[in-house]
Amino acid sequence: MLGILSFVGFTLLVALIAYLATRKTDESSSDGYFLGGRSLTAGVIAGSLLLTNLSTEQIVGLNGSAYTDGLSVMAWETLAAIAMVVTAVFLLPRYLKGGLTTIPQFLAKRFDVTTKTITSGLFLTGYVVVLLPVILYSGSVAISGMFNVPELLGVSDSTALVLCIWGIGVIGSIYAVFGGLKAVAVSDSINAIGLIVGGILIPIFGLMAIGDGNMFTGLDNLITSDAARFDSTGNAGQEVPFSTIFTGMMLVQLFYWGTNQQIIQRALGAKNLAEGQKGLLLASFLKILGPLILVLPGMIAYHYFDGSLASSDLAYPELVRAVLPKPLVGFFAAVLFGAILSSFNSVLNSSVTLFGIDIYKQHINKEAPEKTVVKYGKIFGICLALAAMFIAPLIANAGSLFNYLQEINGIYSIPIFTIIVVGYLTKRVPAIAAKIGIFSGSLLYIISQFILKGQFVDKALETAKASGITDPAALKLIEADAYPHYLHIMAILFVTNAAIMLLIGKFYPRKEAFELEYTKQVSIEPYKYVNHVGIAICVIVIGIYIYFAK
């Protein structure tokens, strides 16, 4: 009962503060609703960026990867810091200079409206088909299990799951659809504090558990028991082989932090360029500390349970249940609930923005006043949330979906990233090149990962088994070596798509060179220490890799 009370109390506190902070924001305009009135400051931007990125599938999934592979999976966290620095220094000044509300808006100016519409459609498809239902399902499994909802309400597991899905969906929709971006960002920044505090408590109690009550003894035991697992350089067969850091890993990070509407929308809502850059840099510094929450607990779980768990995805929840004092369970559940809501309402808010600005205003009602655009954006958001709530219970095996989530996202992430990069770095590559780049990138990636890869892997495993190789570890290495890692494939296709676009631009250039106009929506005077802080963050990340390299 104490856990439930602390859960309800913390959740209501966040809702009250978000309401008080947003009640005077004019949300009848596009900027007011979609970008928080372009009034977001550095602290709010940083907190919202971190919470938007974090949810149960990452907290559970990345710790599960650390349980299996050790420290090398920290690349998903530490390299994000470098990607945010690049975004702050190179991309955000261009976004704010052009007064963008959505990333596809730039593509309309640089190429044409059709390119923008195709890109918005790809973003929306990825959000609707994969992200929203997955976030709802994974979050509901976590909350239902933590509070033992079936026993608490006297219902079946499936009924409890549906109730949690609809509970999270309705509350998330209220934030995202009726509160706009500022409500999402304010609630995110408050929950970020709770997540950091709660997230750090887990490894602290975990280290104390394996150190007979002493955290430092526990850390020493963890390092000395299996020093090889503290290697920052991943091997073949692991989730992040070291070579992928220099190819597709950085491309994925740059796409996610620099061009993904769900993420970059927080920085687009900055009151000026300096605040946006400071927000990104603060978030990037905090991201370096991410492995303490998202990697270390998984490594502690491997030691605590002696690697005996039936599934790596059980590492984090089992460790929490084993080491966290019972009075803190409700607070931690509220923090996780905030993380779940953050990811859900952030994706939903971005979907509403993309639909309202890039589809409704552009193709359905070009003369619509801003109030009408916001109104129909909200209606679309409600329909989207309802669809996600109906689809989420149908996800039978979410765990396997998470493992392939990054790979699936490559269908649209690298093609979109390619045309944005080429669009900014060139002035005469035409619109037809962008369209060909998107479709060729998506098609080639699908052929590579879902047709050719299976054929190569099946043939390699068949040959190995015919040779008498049956050891699972050996077969896993053979499978990894049978076909290039998907991050390498992304890098290859990025270069290929860019080359195709540049060749088209050389032989069929657009008549007039593109010039990015300054819309004077906000001040684009940069933060005077942006380069100094950015370099310092990059040096820290490189230093961490060198220190832990074996």
Q: What is the pLDDT of residues 275-331, one digit of tens each?
A: 999 999 999 998 998 899 999 999 999 999 998 887 777 788 788 878 888 777 777
Residue 452 near residue 529, CB atoms below 8 Å = no
What's the CA gap between 102 and 266, in Å, rounded?
Answer: 11
Q: How confident is residue 369, by pLDDT bands cut at 50, 70 and 90? A: confident
129 vs 23, 59, 114, 124, CA distance in Å? 33, 21, 22, 8
Which tokens is 45 given?
A: 């931007």
Q: Please report the pLDDT score of residue 188 as a whole number.
A: 62
Q: What is the pLDDT of residue 4?
A: 63
Task: Write down the pLDDT at residue 30.
Answer: 47
Residue 372 scores a pLDDT above 90: no
pLDDT at 34 over 50: no
Least confident of 52-61, 377-386, 530-539: 52-61
Sign of the dihedral defined by the CA atoms of residues 503, 509, 513, 518, in that order = negative
Q: Supply the pLDDT for residue 479.
A: 82
Amino acid 85: pLDDT: 96
> For residue 48, is pLDDT > 80?
no
pLDDT > 90: percent of the chain: 34
φ and ψ at residue 234, rounded to 5 degrees: -75, 150
Give the residue-averaged pLDDT of 107-134: 83
Beta bridge mates, 241: 234
**Of the candidates 509, 126, 190, the residue with the CA atom closest to the CA atom of residue 337:** 190
Identify the CATH homologous superfamily for domain 2-6+27-407+524-548: Sodium/glucose cotransporter (1.20.1730.10)
Predicted confidence band of residue 464 (pLDDT cuts 50, 70, 90): confident
The average pLDDT across 36-57 equals 76
Instruction: Supply the Cα-derived Rg of the chain in whole angstroms.
Output: 23
pLDDT tens digits, one per residue of 494-536: 999 999 999 999 999 998 899 888 888 888 899 999 999 999 9
For residue 523, what are its two tokens? Answer: 């001040």
74-88, 320-334, 461-475: least confident range: 320-334
- The torsion of the CA quartet 346, 352, 353, 355, rounded to 10 degrees, works out to 140
Q: Is a pLDDT exceeding 90 seen at residue 367?
A: no
Which tokens in the block code for residue 474? 């050996």
Q: What is the DSSP letter of 88?
A: I
Average pLDDT for residues 173-181, to the nearest whole number? 59
Q: Is the pTM of this model over 0.95?
A: no
The whole-number pLDDT of residue 28 equals: 47
pLDDT of residue 27: 46
- Name the least confident of 7-21, 51-65, 206-220, 497-511: 7-21
CA 545 to chain centre: 22
At residue 351, the pLDDT reads 78
Quickly state the pLDDT bin for 362 (edges 50, 70, 90): confident
Confidence of residue 169 (pLDDT cuts 50, 70, 90): confident
Whether 56 has a pLDDT exceeding 90, the answer reads: no
Name 40's bridge partners: 270
pLDDT computed for residue 400 by the predictor: 47
The rounded distance, in Å, linking the Cα atoms of 443 and 465 is 32
**263, 28 contact by CB (below 8 A):** no
Q: For residue 516, count CB atoms less than 10 angstroms from its CB and return exposed for 0-12, middle for 13-18, buried for 19 or more.
A: middle
pLDDT, position 354? 74
- Per-domain boundaries in the chain: 2-6+27-407+524-548
The CA distances from residue 427 to 345, 509, 515, in Å, are 36, 9, 7
The whole-angstrom separation of Cα 327 and Cα 331 is 8
pLDDT at 2: 55
Reduced to 3 states, what is the DSSP secondary structure of residue 235? coil
CB distance 3 to 321 below 8 Å? no
Per-position b or e across 434-469, b if 16+ CB within 10 A of its CB:
bbbbbebbbebbeebbeeebeeebeebeeebeeeee
User: What was the pLDDT predicted at 18?
Assistant: 57
pLDDT digits (tens, 9 = 90+) for 225-255: 888 899 998 777 788 888 999 999 999 999 9
- Please answer whether residues 57 and 134 qualify as being in contact, where contact means their C-beta atoms are separated by less than 8 angstroms: yes
Mutual angle of helices 113-126 and 431-447, in 10-degree steps: 30
| pLDDT category of residue 182 using cuts at 50, 70 and 90 | low
Name residue 469's amino acid: I
Q: Mean of the pLDDT values across residues 176-198?
A: 63
Average pLDDT of the residues of the chain: 83
Sequence-distant (6+) residues with CB within 8 A of 81 are 284, 285, 287, 288, 537, 538, 540, 541
Q: Which of 74-83, 163-172, 316-325, 401-410 has the highest mean pLDDT?
A: 74-83
Percent of the residues in the chain that have a pLDDT greater than 70, as a whole number: 87
Each residue of 402-429: b (16+ CB within 10 Å) or e? beebbbbbbbbbbbbbbbbbbbeebeeb
Cβ 280 vs Cβ 52: under 8 Å = no
User: Rounded CA gap, 141 and 316, in Å?
Assistant: 13
CA nearest to 392, candidates 172, 83, 233, 146: 172
Helix (H) or strand (E) holding 287: helix 273-288
Helix (H, G, I), strand (E, B) or coil at 234: strand
pLDDT score of 388 = 85
C-alpha 524/C-alpha 275 separation (Å) is 10
